[in-house]
Chain A
Amino acid sequence: MTTNRINDVFQNKKNVLSVYYTAGFPELNNTLAIAQYLEAAGADIIEIGMPFSDPVADGPTIQESNKKALENGMSIKLLFEQLKEVRQSVSIPIILMGYINPVLQFGIHEFCENCEEVGVDGLILPDLPMAEYMAVYKGKFEKHGIKNVFLITPQTSEQRVKEIDQNTDGFIYMVSSASTTGAKGSFSVEQINYFERIKNMNLKNPTLIGFGISNHDTYLQACTYSSGAIIGSAFINCIDSSGIEKGNINQFVKDIKG
């Protein structure tokens, strides 16, 4: 198997920072500019949300951004158009995150082809269960060089974590607590115990910790126990209140990375 940009990042960088934003938010045509500014600011992975009417795994901030993006007219078709030339200016990994229904309606085959064409490296589809992925999707994703990113949570059994580790070769998304997405401020003792437990499993895949990462402290803590962190709601809040100007995004990433 050829390595892709995701594997490269984890081989070459420490304390990986992945930043999420919703395509079509705050304005319909911000997608490409935000990607460029994030890379320039020092983000290591870009995670672009495909908005959905019913994002059950997301907290209020990302829900609202999904709603706004849909009102702005965002769709998967438009997203692929916006990303058509993204690889001329952005070289870090791009992951698309979203719910399975819009992907199914777009057509899974066509979706995978488009991902490969524009240069998408991975997918996070939280409501696509592992069994379904293995039975129906794995072959298609791999054919187009797409890494499927699985989630694990504090409640995921050790056996299932191992199974997930066996069935992916990109990275594993460690959900930091039993919760939906959203900034929380700091980690509890239970969360730290869970991070240590997973770290001690010595998985073959790197892990990124997400959900509740909102500042430099939580980012650094996450990096102690994993290969890095994912930030979503805090960044959405930032561009919602301060806009998507280059300097603003630059400052946000600098503040997180320190």
Chain B
Amino acid sequence: MRYSVDENGYYGQFGGAYIPEMLYPNVEELRDNYLSIIGDSAFKAEFDKLLKDYVGRPTPLYFAKRLSEQYGAKIYLKREDLCHTGAHKVNNTIGQIILAKKLGKQKIIAETGAGQHGVATATVCALMGMECIVYMGEIDMQRQKPNVERMRILGAEVVPAKSGSKTLKDATNEAMRHWISNPVDTHYIIGSVVGPHPYPDMVARFQSVISEEMKWQLNEEEGTEYPHYVIACVGGGSNAAGAFYHYLDEEKVKLVAVEAAGRGVDSGESAATSYLGKPGVLHGSKTLLMQTADGQVVEPYSISAGLDYPGIGPMHAHLFDTGRVKFENATDEEAMVAGVELSKLEGIIPAIESAHALAALRKMSFEKSDIVVINLSGRGDKDLETYIKWGKY
């Protein structure tokens, strides 16, 4: 595979494991074991069964007839919004918690921004009866109160990250610090294709079930496994990694990643990392990073809490660099319009993250026969307040 990770944990010039020595044993243990554990038939059987019976997979590949008419192409929606907990995040947390058990870990920590990954982690910890601590930026905790309470109902402890800018990147810093101080009994479930090797590869593998299903589902509908386009939103990039995974080496499938432009890519309030970022090192990997000329990490902005991360996964940085994936972006406004449009045309209120992917439709031109798959990564229930505040529906 041209785009897969190499033995040193790199995707082209991006990736690696830039971690302090205090984390080396933890990460080494994962690196040395993850492939054999997830390749084991007992692991696969448990993972597949939980994805089927607990998460509700396979998720439908739905032909969106009215949306298709609107844009003059055959548009399918991969319905990750129908996963248990309301987003694709749970595919990864199921995989990682089984892996954590196999490694003999008793405690789980996680970081969360909007709370979706935190909820997905708290959920699988309840399922497995494991202790769960979720770090969340103090500011995000105020913004996403329902998800904080959801995690608490599920039995997790939610710890406010009070350092730095008190948002997702600081929650990640705090989770790493916790892991430094608890290296033996704790597994850190990272929520996206970010972090030191092997996290980006491991999370991408767990999410790859998305494109694995797309292939046979599309074959049933259209007699081909290969759409003309796959479109997904990118914050850290886990849903996009899953949606692109089995198409990466099929160059005829055009892959489109949509970043959050916030109030506009040049407004100073944006999270469009591929446009604004430069190569740098954060949270254990070399990747594209929004930063000042002095190398200090810049706080990103998007209306969608799931997309305001200052970096992207190293795999995506490489896919951007090589041109394999075309990077688009959508502003807050464009995403909200697209979210309301899908609601009215198809009766599906999407997460605002996923609405960014939908917003790419009007920036592209299609042939009538083009098959387009959009990864609908999450549902919009968690975003009702934002929709209401925006008000134009």
Contact = CB atoms under 8 A, between A and B. Distances in A.
Contacts, number: 110
Contacts of B181: 178-180
B258 to A, nearest CB: 26
A155 B280 contact: no
Interface in A111-157: 126-129, 131-132, 150-153, 155-157
Interface in A57-76: 57, 59-60, 63, 67, 70, 75-76
B297 A53 contact: yes
A20 interface: no
A105 B21 contact: no
A245 interface: no
Given A76-B294, A102-B294, A179-B180, A60 B163 contact: yes
A110 interface: no
B224 interface: no
B296 A52 contact: yes
B contact residues, range: 35 or more
B27 to A, nearest CB: 9
Name the residue in B170, B280, B296 with the highest tally of chain A Cβ atoms < 10 Å from its Cβ. B296
Contacts of B261: none
Contacts of A129: 16-19, 24
B309 to A, nearest CB: 12
Interface stretch (B59-67, B198-206, B281-289): B281-289
Contacts of B283: 54, 56
Contact of A180 (B18, B180, B284, B289): B180
A53 B22 contact: no
30 contacts: A52-B295, A52-B296, A54-B164, A54-B170, A54-B282, A54-B297, A56-B180, A56-B283, A57-B20, A57-B22, A63-B164, A67-B163, A75-B294, A100-B18, A102-B295, A102-B296, A104-B281, A105-B280, A105-B291, A105-B293, A127-B19, A132-B16, A155-B25, A155-B183, A155-B184, A157-B25, A178-B181, A178-B183, A179-B22, A179-B180
Interface of A: 52-57, 59-60, 63, 67, 70, 75-77, 99-106, 126-129, 131-132, 150-153, 155-157, 160, 175, 178-180
Q: What are the 3 closest A-B residue pairs judged by CB atoms, nearest first?
A: A105-B295, A102-B295, A151-B21
